[in-house]
Structure 1
Amino acid sequence: MTYIEFKNLLPSSIAGVAEVCAVLFFTWYIGTAAITWYRLRHIPGPFLASFSYLWIIKNNVLGRGAQEHESLRKYGSIVRTGPRYIVTDDPEILRRINGARSSYPRDAWYKAIRTEQHDNMGTIIDTARHDRLKAKLLHGYNGRDNVSIEAMVDLQVTHLVDVIKRRYVSTKGDPKSFDLSQVIRYFTLDVITRLSYGEPFGFLDAEGDLYNYTNSVDRLIMALSLATDLPMLRWIIFSPLLIGFLPKSTDDNGLGKVLGTAKNIVKERFEKENSESPDMIGAFMRHGITQPEAAAEGFLTILAGSDTTAVAIRSTLLYLMSTPTVYHRLKNEIREAIHSQPISTPITVEQARKLPYLQAVIHEGFRMRPPAVYGHYKVVPPEGDTLNGLHIPGGTAIGHNSIAMMRSQKIFGSDADSFRPERLLECSEEKKYEMERTIDLVFGFGRWMCAGKMVAQVELNKIYFELMRNFDFQLIYPAKAVDEMSYFVYVQKNMFVKITASV
């Protein structure tokens, strides 16, 4: 049916109104696109990004956020990625806009990661409110308020090693392969739930996807990434019409079930006025956090503190297994350390920090696969700003392009695309400081620095040492070592390995 035939079927009044509406919408769209293009016309970037969100949509639908953002290096240090979005791979710009005295507030980008419409430290946009809340919460994150972070991580590292020995180690007559990506994920979930609530939720012991949680999170990631990046979609998803379809604490499985379990633990703590527990929720309560705040913050630790660390661990282990020279050098350093000095089981953070190659591996792993690919946008103040000689209009959202920053040849050398921990050991102290300081930006900077940085560092200093101390690893499918999609974060699955006892 042609447009003319369709039009003739409608009453003349309706057809006329439809035509007017169509013309008005088309005019509005063209005008908006032109204005949008004009504001940031001097910022280079992909053509589609100059007037629409199509570049962002394409990357998310294809799961190619990392590859596409890394390719932006050809445009320079500041690149346009959407109508009002720009990203930068310049460490100094990121330190400036995220510093404690910066006047750049958070963008509404953060709002998409709220749970049941409750704000938490990760979603609050108001800077003063964020700072007040973070000051209270840090007592739980930094381990100084009766929260023994290292001791709790030790329990989970020991349990992981025991589980691998019992279930997954191959012997001559009993070869086995398993998906290491899931086991690592269960480990990080148990670590963060023990730290937050005093006891692990039991993902490792369940021998499967407890509550179907990880599967539900993976299915949500693309939608979540689109919602963070697309203001209109964010508004639609959180509208009264659709909000009831989002995960909620009354669900029987998935993300909602874990949210409900965490929420019930907090409720019981407050009903019993039990603020003495040596865990993060106990510390939050001791510093005046309310029950709704504690529930929201507790779940944030699970959502933000498990998968990001799991990506770092998986990726580093993958690079180790794929790079024999690095693998064997780290194994040798571990053997020599065990034979030459008293090393506890598990190794302490203090002992681990004295092993230079282990530290280089930790940093290089973060560099090659930063847990957050891009995003975490801040808003340029109303008066605008000048960055690297470019005027940035007020209201523009600027975020990090970590994947490009971590491949900077200027900072990391001509082989920046290669996994080579030696780069941190073969340079001057000044250069090493520059590289490590840049890599540390994966945790953010200034007032917006990740509160869980210390927790992640404790985990990483222990997990690589203990896994390499006890086991030898081999990829089952080296040509397709892992299934990986990337949005503003990575989703990794099917990393099958064979493990034998270390010799």
Structure 2
Amino acid sequence: MESTQHIVTSLISSARADPVVVVLFFIAVYFVRSHYYHGLNKIPGPFVAGLTSLWKWNAVRREEMHTISADLHDKFGPLVRIGPNHVSASSAEAINVVHRARSGFTKAPMYGILQPKFEGSDLHNIFSTQDPEYHAALKRTMGNLYTTTAVMPLEFHLDECTKLFLSKMNELIGSRKSAPVDLAGWLQYYTFDSLGMINFSQKMGFLEAGVDLEGICHYDHDQMLYFAIWGQIATAERMWSNVKNYFAGAKKENPLFHFVVKIIKERQENPTDSTDMLNSFLALHNAAPEKFTARDLLAAAYINVVTAHDVVAITLRGVVYYLARHPEVQKKLQKEIIDMAEAGKLSNLSQYSEITTMSYVLAVTNETLRYHPSTGIIFERVCPKGGVTLHGQYIPENTHIGVNAWVINRDKSIFGEDADTFRPERWIESDPKAITKMKMNLFTGHDTALGET
């Protein structure tokens, strides 16, 4: 005790002559505290990650988090420490404990970055809210709108966009001025227009124009990249964002949000009998405005486009990319489609009820979702009061934890010894129990709009 007092007294005395000594001392104390925080030093991981969240911030900034995480889990096992108060988990057990509904794990502060500002405050939505009671209330109110039965009547909207997409592709491919086609861009246009039709009975105009209107695609990419990077240090981001807004004024409203606000206002001023999500939201709002407020309506319509677009566009691109990389898979897929068409079992255009009977189409889709999930980061959760034990290791309350889809989707104990290979046949040829296990643990990484993955 006397020696400790002597050290502190000496430091205080030294500070009068050399304040740098004290600064270095407190930096050292901070790093030591971070390393041993709540006993998380017992969980293996990069040494620097235990000292500062800047380690994972930098890994995401370099767009290498998914591969780094896979290597770390191969080396250390199902639990890896990736920050002073952050743990990456990779197992079926972790999915059930952390990400399933009613688990008690609330969403981490990183989710708040995705909430746009509206009328001076954050516009909370069912995807980004960190309030479990608000989330549960919204889910009770609007959950029925997302069942298969509820969305099937909206399928016809996709037909119009699909016809336009095919027409545009035929124009480009058949033109004498034919040149390499940016299919990634066109698939994004198709996704945005399809979601515009399903939600608002109105295409956003991308397919017709063939360009990124109002920079929406570019803005959306930048927004998602910003969320991924700065979500790793969400508290610092929020403080810095407030400082920037104070001195520079509020950041420019994003064009996609502006589009959604405009559409809702027009629909309220000129009601229609359209079969779309917006009219379903309006019906909920008109029936119970105290349960589903005008802000809830706007948030639901906006997040329907933002989160769904990201997942769908990446998956479509993944399917096309891996088919191009695996001609043998492409041939088998084409044969199944041709055989179904010749048997008179496919409409023009094919319908969901017909496609779900096509085993190889579903296998290619599932394999793409597995092999190339739409996110390489962890959508972090906060460990509930009392903590939890995973794989024999106690994880204290308030620890940020989650499962990385790129890691779990290549778990050989779930998906087979060739899990690092793109092979759709695993979804058909495997033992039925193994297929059930794969389906239960196929992890996209995104929370769904209405709950947990």
Normalising by the smaller structure, the TM-score range is 0.7 to 0.9
Deviation at 1:143, TM superposition (A): 6.2
The corresponding residue for 1:182 is: 185
Counterpart CA distance in 2 for 1:45 and 1:276 is: 56
Aligned counterpart in structure 2 of residue 293 of structure 1, from 281, 296, 313: 296
Shift in Å at residue 291 of structure 1?
2.2
Change (3 A) 1:163 1:393: same
> By how many angstroms is 1:208 displaced?
0.7
- Seen in structure 2, the aligned counterparts of structure 1 residues 41 and 323 have a Cα distance that, compared at 3 Å, is same
Q: CA deviation at 1:64?
A: 1.5
Match of 1:263 in 2: 261
**2:350 match:** 347
CA contact (8 A) 2:109 2:235 kept: no
Contact 1:147 1:279 in 2 (8 A): no
Aligned to 2:33: 35
Distance 1:87 1:291, change over 3 A: same
- Name the CA distance, whole Å, in 2 between partners of 1:92 and 1:257: 41
Matched, 1:322 2:312: no
CA RMSD of superposed structures (Å): 2.5
- CA deviation profile, 1:355-384 (whole Å, cap 9, x unmatched): 111111000011111112232211111211
Report the equivalent of 1:127.
132
Q: 2:111 is matched with which residue? A: 110
**Does the aligned pair in 2 maintain the 1:85–1:397 contact within 8 Å?**
yes
Equivalent residue for 2:425, pick from 422, 427, 436: 422
Q: 2:3: which partner in 1?
A: none
Task: Give the Cα–Cα distance (whole angstroms) in 1 for the partners of residues 369 and 158 of structure 2.
Answer: 20
Question: Secondary structure at the residue paired with 1:335?
Answer: helix
The letter of the residue matching 2:282 is M
The one of 233, 238, 241 aligned to 1:235:
238
Question: C-alpha separation between the residues in 2 aligned to 1:137 and 1:18?
Answer: 65
The percent identity for this pair of structures is: 23
- Residue 421 of structure 1 aligns to a residue whose secondary structure is coil
Q: In the superposition, relative to structure 1, how do residues 19 and 79 fare at CA in structure 2: closer, same or farther (>3 Å)?
A: same
**How far apart, CA to CA, are the structure 2 residues paired with 1:189 and 1:79?**
37
Task: Render the CA deviation track for 1:405-462: whole Å, top value 9, x for unaligned.
Answer: 1111111122111111111222111011111222155454897236xxxxxxxxxxxx
The 1-side partners of 2:17 and 2:210 are apart by 58
The aligned amino acid for 1:169 is I
Kindly indicate whether residue 445 of structure 2 is the aligned counterpart of residue 448 of structure 1: no
> Aligned-pair distance for 1:320?
0.6
Match of 1:370 in 2: 373
Call closer, same or farther: CA 1:228–1:192 in 2, change over 3 Å. same
Q: 1:278, CA displacement in angstroms?
A: 2.0
Q: Distance in 2 between matches of 1:123 and 1:446?
A: 9
Hey, what does 1:281 align to over in structure 2? 278
* 1:100 correspondence with 2:101: yes
SS at match of 1:102: coil
The aligned residue for residue 87 of structure 2 is: 86
1:302 is displaced (CA, Å) by 2.0
Specify the SS of the correspondent of 2:43: coil
Amino acid at match of 2:257: L
Aligned in 2, Cα 1:220/1:342: closer, same or farther, shift over 3 Å?
closer
Q: Distance in 1 between matches of 2:395 and 2:450?
A: 22
Which 10-residue stretch deviates more, 277-286 or 187-196?
A: 277-286
Alpha-carbon distance in 1 for matches of 2:224, 2:446: 20
Aligned to 1:336: 339
1:92-141 Cα distance to aligned partner (Å, 9 max, x none)? 22122233332221111211111112111111111111011123233443
Alignment length (residue pairs): 426
- Residue matched to 2:157: 152
Distance change >3 Å, CA 444–CA 291, structure 1 → 2: closer
Q: Distance in 1 between matches of 2:362 and 2:437?
A: 15
> Relative to 1, partners in 2 of residues 1:295 and 1:147: Cα closer, same or farther, differing over 3 Å?
farther
**Secondary structure at 2:378 match in 1:** strand
SS at match of 1:310: helix
User: Gaps (5+ residues) in structure 1?
Assistant: 1-15, 250-255, 451-503
TM-score by length of 1: 0.79
Give the CA deviation at 1:341. Answer: 3.0
Q: Shift in Å at residue 404 of structure 1?
A: 0.7
**Which residue in 2 is equivalent to 1:206?**
209
Bigger CA drift: 103-112 or 437-446?
437-446
Please tell me the residue identity of whatever aligns with 1:50.
G
Secondary structure (helix, strand or coil) at the match of 2:41 reads coil
TM-score, normalised relative to structure 2: 0.87
Which of 303, 307, 311 is residue 310 of structure 2 equivalent to?
Answer: 307
Q: Which runs of 4+ in 1 moved over 4 A?
A: 16-19, 22-25, 143-147, 243-247, 440-447
Quickly say closer, same or farther: Cα 1:51–1:113, change in 2 above 3 A: same
For 1:378 and 1:248, how far apart are their aligned partners in 2?
30
User: Which residue pairs with 1:436 in the alignment?
Assistant: 439
Larger mean CA deviation between 440-449 and 299-308 belongs to 440-449
Aligned partners of 1:188 and 1:306 also within 8 Å = yes
d(CA) in 2 for partners of 1:188, 1:71: 33
Contact 2:324 2:330 in 1 (8 A): yes
Alignment of 1:399-418 (within 5 A): 399-418=402-421
Shift of 1:336: 0.8
Partner of 2:288: none
**In 2, distance between residues paired with 1:18 and 1:52?**
30
The whole-number CA distance in structure 2 between the counterparts of 1:26 and 1:155 is 65
Question: How far is the alpha carbon of 1:44 from its aligned partner?
Answer: 1.0
Q: Please, which moves more after superposition, 123-132 or 338-347?
A: 338-347
SS of equivalent residue, structure 1 residue 35: helix
Distance 1:79 1:121 in 2: 29
Identify if the C-alpha distance between structure 1 residues 246 and 402 changes in structure 2 by more than 3 Å, giving closer, same or farther: farther
C-alpha spacing 1:23/1:189, structure 2 compared with 1 (3 Å): farther
Distance 1:447-1:161 versus aligned 2 partners, 3 A rule? closer
Q: Deviations over 1:155-193 (max 9, x none)?
A: 222221122112x2147x654311100000001011112
